[in-house]
Chain A
Amino acid sequence: MTVVRISDDAVALALGADKLAAAFEAAGCTVERTSSWGMHWLEPLVEIDGRGFGPATVADVADILAGTSTKDIGLIAEHPFIAGQQRLTFARAGRTRPLSLDDYAATGGWAGLDRARSMSAEDVVAEVLESGLRGRGGAGFPAGIKWRTVLEAKLRPTQPTKYIVCNADEGDSATFADRMVMEGDPFQLIEGMAIAAHAVGASEGFIYVRSEYPHAIAKLEAAIALAAAKIAPFVLEVRVGAGAYVCGEETSLLNSIEGKRGEVRAKPPLPALEGLFGCPTVVNNVLTLAAVPHILSPGGAALYARLGVERSKGTMPIQLAGNIKHGGLYETAFGITLTELIHTIGGGTASGRPVKAAQVGGPLGAYIPPRQFDLPFDYEAYAKADALIGHGGISVFDDTADMGAMARFAFEFCAAESCGKCTPCRIGSTRGVELIDRLRAPSPAMADAVASLPQMHNAAKAPPSRAESLALLEDLSEVMQSASLCALGGFTPYPVRSALKHWPEDFGGK
């Protein structure tokens, strides 16, 4: 009987994988549901004996089984998009069934945890330090240093437990790597958390997943039940977010798990010392924790440290999204350029029009113009160019994009999602929307909404000039960047400033 493999990742499901799987079953095939290879433009991708057919529809079933399909892409593992990658975190992508413990163990699963548990906590932390692994959530803080801080924290009556918290509140547009790990390889994340628990002496863990990911939540809950005996005495639980983007910030995430408003906490105290319920807590992103089992496997840390450039070590699962022809997940060592990612690998825009901009790092990342596409993918190189890598998501825009509208959206998004605790973010975001509307308004010049209030006796009566509005926008950006409590207010000026700098023509005033 023919064995057909079709992914049950959310992208495949959204493109009709269930109907396709049912059609193959009706045709007498055995259908195995696997994780996704990450070639999203080919989903739903059908795999028979290693050969791929995609994007497949129910109408293609007969041709595929007869061997006459025009959607044949050859051997999947040899496809240039897959063969060009260096997959560590996504080594199992497309190859295993997400909830099969047998598949997981047969592909090296639990080797890292078994080895870690034969080592002292200090040695495990030392290997994570040696690997150079940095937090994949966006800030890029060295994971080993965070773990060491929690390891060295002493338990006392007021702090009776240590916690491992996985930040799976992947709210950035253009990012889906966390979701793919949770849906496609949940045991790897669970293993990473169990290793972290051993390394710092934690007994409980939480995975905080956003409510927009129902499939990831279901897979994780099933996987935790299956792996409970393996990771015991460490216990793990899924907590579901409630639609607040700001809960991706680690301190508001902790408040949310505690059952509070997802407001950001001031730091210090660091969560490593006073985190969840006031106890020492490791808060790491899904990709950080999912990289750990590989690092703890024999020789893993040294291999990881050999990859990458400068202080950006190892591999980064890069997410190619937006208006791109070949979108999906591309894991590779740091140092790759946007030209390679967008043009060579991504095939340019999906619309076939010229690329105008790429936003790297989600809604808080800078818009990068094509003339800067030779920038190497590296935390420090991006910081130097006033940009950020963030969670490794890239949104591509073609030449029809209105960058002024995108800058306005950045402020609008910040206003909608601000937790409201600090003034620069809460009020600055709304003032930013007004400012950009004023800049883009057709003449005559628009009055300032606040200056024209009746109680503003000393404000100028005439509408501000364009130069004054631009100076105010610059001033506002600076205040938000330097005085906001967290990255939401602090980084919103990045997309705004970069859009204004590189595409001033999209801000009116010709």
Chain B
Amino acid sequence: MSTIELSEIIAAHAGRKGALLPMLHAVQKAYGCISPEAEARIAEALNLSRAEVHGVVSFYHDFTPAPDPRPVIELCRAEACKARGVEALVPAAETAAGARVNLKTVYCLGLCSVGPNARVGDELFAGLTEARLLELVECA
């Protein structure tokens, strides 16, 4: 981890009102996680205790304590996608994903009229069939 970059991220956000979440987003994006070291540095910069920062990091699903190098596919399994049959696609997708791909459950991508839906990075996929989802997993 380049400590210079971390201090740049902290400096870029430190003056803002409610700086912690934007700062954590930036750190998560740059390093793929919020490490204990980053927590300590952020706590110091914002005059918070480490416990407070850790409490926030552990509260939100988007922040992770360690990097996960696997590619991520976010599959929506909320009500509207269930109504459109996402559950039937899950077993085959999980088998295909195995340990190589992080097939993550999310609740709602806001495309509820055209599900089942998935998100890979900032790209969205709607109207998934089993074949299409398996293709996404294999290409991930």
**Known A175-B112, A327-B113, A409-B79: A259·B127 in contact at CB below 8 Å:** no
Bound-state Cα–Cα, A215 to B80, Å: 21
Contact of B17 among A41, A43, A277 (CB under 8 A): A277
Bound-state Cα–Cα, A31 to B114, Å: 24
Contact A242 B61 (CB under 8 A): yes
Contact of A257 among B21, B59, B109 (CB under 8 A): B21
Contact A212 B114 (CB under 8 A): no
Contact of A261 among B25, B59, B83 (CB under 8 A): B59
Bound-state Cα–Cα, A497 to B43, Å: 44
Bound-state Cα–Cα, A363 to B79, Å: 7
User: A53 within 8 Å of B by Cβ?
Assistant: no
Contact of B127 among A15, A244, A362, A406 (CB under 8 A): A15
Chain A at the B interface: SS class: mixed
Q: Which of chain A's residues have a CB closer than 8 A to the CB of B79?
A: 173-174, 322, 359, 362-363, 395, 406, 409
Contact A242 B21 (CB under 8 A): yes
User: B38 within 8 Å of A by Cβ?
Assistant: no
Contact B21 A173 (CB under 8 A): no
Q: Which of chain A's residues have a CB closer than 8 A to the CB of B125?
A: 14
Contact B83 A43 (CB under 8 A): no
Interface locus among B1-9, B65-73, B89-97, B116-124 = B116-124
B54 to chain A, nearest CB (A): 10
User: A170 within 8 Å of B by Cβ?
Assistant: yes
**Known A14-B126, A212-B106, A323-B84: A41·B60 in contact at CB below 8 Å:** no
- Closest B residue, CB atoms, query A172: B108
- Closest B residue, CB atoms, query A258: B18
A392-442 interface with B by 8 A CB criterion: 393, 395-398, 401, 406, 409, 413, 416-417, 419
Contact of A11 among B17, B22, B108, B111 (CB under 8 A): B111
A176 to chain B, nearest CB (A): 4
Contact of B113 among A245, A256, A260, A319 (CB under 8 A): A319
User: B20 within 8 Å of A by Cβ?
Assistant: yes
B30-83 interface with A by 8 A CB criterion: 46, 55-56, 59-63, 76, 78-83
A269 to chain B, nearest CB (A): 19
Q: Which of chain A's residues have a CB closer than 8 A to the CB of B56?
A: 259-261
Bound-state Cα–Cα, A240 to B18, Å: 12
User: A171 within 8 Å of B by Cβ?
Assistant: yes
Contact of A14 among B20, B59, B80, B117 (CB under 8 A): B117
Q: Which of chain B's residues have a CB closer than 8 A to the CB of A395?
A: 79-80, 83, 112
**Known A174-B80, A257-B21, A395-B79: A243·B61 in contact at CB below 8 Å:** yes
Q: Which of chain B's residues have a CB closer than 8 A to the CB of A256?
A: 21
**Known A13-B124, A261-B59: A239·B18 in contact at CB below 8 Å:** yes
Contact A171 B21 (CB under 8 A): no
Bound-state Cα–Cα, A262 to B62, Å: 13
Q: Mark A38-49, 1 if CB is under 8 A from B, else 0.
A: 001101000000
Bound-state Cα–Cα, A214 to B120, Å: 11
Contact A396 B108 (CB under 8 A): no
Contact A11 B82 (CB under 8 A): no
User: A328 within 8 Å of B by Cβ?
Assistant: yes
Q: Which of chain B's residues have a CB closer than 8 A to the CB of A262?
A: 59-60
**Known A240-B22, A242-B61, A260-B56: A401·B110 in contact at CB below 8 Å:** no
Bound-state Cα–Cα, A239 to B81, Å: 27
Q: Which of chain B's residues have a CB closer than 8 A to the CB of A257?
A: 18, 21
Q: Which of chain A's residues have a CB closer than 8 A to the CB of B78?
A: 173, 363, 413
**Known A171-B107, A212-B119, A256-B21: A322·B80 in contact at CB below 8 Å:** yes
User: A321 within 8 Å of B by Cβ?
Assistant: yes
Bound-state Cα–Cα, A397 to B87, Å: 14
User: B12 within 8 Å of A by Cβ?
Assistant: no
20 pairs of residues in contact across A and B, judged by CB atoms under 8 Å = A11-B111, A11-B126, A40-B113, A43-B114, A173-B80, A174-B80, A176-B110, A215-B122, A244-B59, A259-B21, A260-B56, A321-B83, A321-B112, A322-B83, A322-B84, A322-B113, A362-B79, A363-B78, A401-B82, A419-B59
What are the nearest 10 A-B pairs in CB distance? A327-B113, A259-B20, A243-B61, A173-B78, A242-B60, A322-B83, A321-B112, A14-B126, A14-B124, A242-B62
**A residues apposed to B, CB below 8 Å:** 10-11, 13-15, 40-41, 43, 170-176, 179, 211-215, 239-245, 256-263, 277, 319-324, 327-328, 350, 359, 362-363, 393, 395-398, 401, 406, 409, 413, 416-417, 419
Besides the contacts A173-B79, A261-B55, what 19 more A-B pairs have beta carbons closer than 8 Å? A11-B111, A15-B114, A15-B126, A41-B114, A171-B107, A171-B108, A172-B108, A173-B80, A174-B79, A174-B80, A215-B122, A243-B106, A259-B20, A261-B59, A319-B113, A321-B112, A322-B84, A350-B84, A359-B79
